[in-house]
Chains A and B, each alone.
Chain A
Amino acid sequence: MRREPPEPGGARTPDRRPPRLALRLLRRLLPGHRGDELVVDLAEEYAGRAARSPWPVADVWYWIQVLRPSTTRLGRELSEVRTMRVGRHRVPGVAPKGLFDVLRYEARLAFRSLRQRPGFSTLVVLTLGLGIGANTGIFTVVSGVLLEPLAYPDPDGLVVVGLGPDLEGPATSMSLPDIVDLEEGASSLTTLVGYSGSTATLTGMGDPTLLPVGRVERGLLSTFHLAPVLGRDIAPGESGAAAAAVAVIGYEFWRDHFRSSPDVLGETIVLNGASYEIVGVAPHGFDFPDHTQVWYPRQIDPDTCARSCHTWYTIGRLAAGATVPGTQVEADAIATRLSQAFPETNLDKTFEVRTLQDVVVGRARRGLWLLLGAGLAVLLIACANVANLVLARAEARRGEAAVRAALGATRGRLIASMLSESTLLAVLGGAFGLALALGGVVVLRRLSAGAVPRIEMVTIDTRVLLFTLGLVCGVTFLFGLSPALRASRMALATGMRRSGRGVTSGGGRGLRRILTMTETALAIVLLFGAGLMLRTFAEMHAVDPGFETRRILRFDLYLPEASYPDLESIRSFFRTLEGRIAAQPGVEAVGSIYGAPLGEGRSSGHVFVDGRPEPPPGQEIGAVLSSVGPGYVRTMRIPVIRGRDLTPADDRSGTPVSLVNQAFAHAVFGDADPIGERVRVTVNFGFGSPYWEIVGVVGDVRASSLTEEPVPEIYVPQGQDGPGFMTVNIRSSRPARGLIGVVRSEVRRLDATVPLRNVETVTDAVRRDTASTRFLLAMLGAFAGLALVLAAVGLYGVMAYLVSQRVQEVGVRVALGARPGAILSLLMRGGLGPAAAGVGIGLLLSLAGGQLVEGLLYGVEARDPVTLGAVPLVLLVVAVLAVLVPALRATRVDPASVLRAE
């Protein structure tokens, strides 16, 4: 009921009207009936002034009145007035018009309306929070592990070249001549440096400690675009046959051991009994590879195996503008050339170029993206649930929307009003989710230790916050827009007519069916993934590793070469130690090995049989060479299948003998008896004879991983050949960890300069080996469980709603004599139909997406029929329960009371 300023020609109306623009602005500032009071007052006064003064004076005055702060304040005051008295009636206050005012107004309305329905609001915020929290948590890991660049300058240009193809695992090692040829031949590489990570015993600086060290072909710093903070890096000429006794130390080592003294250059450190002169200090934070703090030149014996010894890892830098695929093309060409030039060592050898980031992240990549996908699926289910709730609520409030529409609210305004509620819910859900993620990341870090690299880098940062914000926006539109559009259309078309009657429109039911179907389908996909991981986990645990895994404590010892220069000193150290430990109460057996299963350090080479022609290049049989103490096979309960075990008498004075595993026997001798045969292996530990007589065949062990098939292995007695690095295994009749203290003191008693390393139980090693599967299983399992619960809650909600809408119909049917069974099946068909369709769609999706998880499975196919059969069953049982409860309630409807209500 807007009144215009007085018309010209009236009793008190002058000829002139206020400036049109100013009037429009004033109307915008002062909306509604109450605002007209001032509009008219000002128009009257303007007319008076315009009649008295020359032209622009009144206009200027009018503009000043419009732009006064008090005018804006009046607009605000008026919008605060919720109800006003018009005559004898109280009517709703005036709604604001400016965009900002509308937003504020709608936000306040939304808040108020959500506070009035705490049950609904809490359910929605919890549901969304769980979905958003799961995603934010996983994305935090993805962001920290996969997206965060490595903490080196220009990390994108750092590459690793290994022997290919090895698409998923860490890079393999190379031979030094190949590395040199690659660096010289590939123009897209500015540097390619060989190194090998190792450990060395540091003495002369307090207690002896084992340090991670890098033995390098030359300094690594320039490849990383770094410069030493003090002194220089290792020069190219310093490695080689007579390696220079110089070392570069890490910044942290410099700080901790030399108090950051600038006079450190020229000092010496003693590693493995040898002295190295410090020539440089690496910059802060540089610890490549693997937390290395000391780098020194690696000795290269020109007479050893050269191109056939793959003992070097590489780190290189791409030239400006070069790409990994381009470099790969060059590497392929070089590999072909070398294959022709050196067929005896390089036949079919290929090189594989990968970024350092890729190598570091490795296998974790696929699992993490998979989990992020699973998280999004959970969020979609949550959205579908919430959309259902919002839809039901919008229908319940159809009357309210219709009244607003009748009073002149536009469709856009109605949509905005409903969306603002959704936005508020999403924001609250996002805040709750973020809080969940904050706690979740702590749990994730612990859960994924050992399963995901760089997990310590993971924190909630700006990228994560932006991701969450994006989720909140996406979620708002997903669950809010469609119900808002529908409800606004309904309000305009049918709202008034139907308001108050419990009849659901066909369109609403359709949308609801689609939502139910979607969430069922997604839940099936998640359950399927979790099912496959569960089967994988079970298969892994069913695997017989071939050795005892319980109650065995083990630790590594590294005897420095300076104190233990020959085999006899090493042998006598380990025999004495084994004897002393074996005498401890509770110890059943003790045995040492170089090349422990699921442990560090394994050497492999080619095998040749004495008296047989050597196979042509490329067709040799490879085997892993281990050196074992006399009690090892017994300690690990590896069965001796033929012949005999090794004994303490197998030492330098006797014939060189060996044990082989079944895989070896089969690969080299087929069905023939290997006992008594003599074999030669192309690698040794520096003391061995060329030929080993096989005296026994032992059972296969899965030494590199539980999921990898056993490979040919040959065990030689440590008394005849072995390195100073051994793993001592102790089988105990009590919990193995109880022995740690005794073991430490025994080692110290024998040689106080030898530190213990990697003290663990074999059970720990098995856990580490299955860590990534356990992590994936735990996460996918949690997501699938969440999905199942959400889907069940969703189904229950929809069913309860549908039933409540059909109470009258049921009442009439019961009155007309329908049996409870018939009513039940009628109602359940309505609820279970979409669920069944969702199951079908979900199964199809699972089959199609199977190859995404293929690389993460073990012992199970991506189309595993057991999982395919079990998952729909689980879901259907849950669905029937969710639908049954409200349907049963409906059958107990009292027809009389329903008809009375009619």
Chain B
Amino acid sequence: MTAWQRFLDTFFKPEMIAQYWPSIAQGVLVTVEIAAAVVVTGLALGLLLAAVRAYRLALCNVLIVIFVDVFRSLPPLVAILLIYFGLPSVGISLPSFVVLWGVLSLVLAAFAEEIFWAGITSTPKGQWEAARSTGLGFSETLLFVVMPQAIRLGIPPLTNRTIAITKNTALGTVIGVGEILNQATAAQSFSGNATPLMLGAIAYIVLFVPVVAAGRWIETRFAWRRA
């Protein structure tokens, strides 16, 4: 057996592909569902927190900053294990996909809040003044004038961060969420062959290359020169 054959046999064995692609496809579905849910809830929560922070209510802002700093410093894997294995001891037992979705949403929300907040603070003071001078209230100015600009400013860093965090759906494998990596490692241990892992890797690339491309498209679509 040549080295090339051995390579093909290890990573691209046809029988393995035939046998395991359905379970990898199943994993893709789960990954897509969780990733989409994380993006929606994470970004929405981050945006909401940044907007609330703009009101500069002392206690509220302290809590937001603590939340943001904790979830930016805590490795998501630690939070996932802590919640999944810790909470049942106090009588709360959450399904594994809920834990994964929840933790990744909170992590994305923490980073997104910082990005949106940076956008809010870097919106020139003159924008607030112009809006207030026409009789708009604080909330209206925030909603119609400042947030749209903050969101656009945030898009380039947000696309990167969002991609990085949605890829962390792979962490679900440690608590048995049936996503791509979980299906692939299960198949690998049954078969003793690395082909399912290769299928998983290919699935990630096929899944995330369009997301990365979409991110780039969004960046150019919403990049506009400052007046």
Same complex for A and B? Answer no
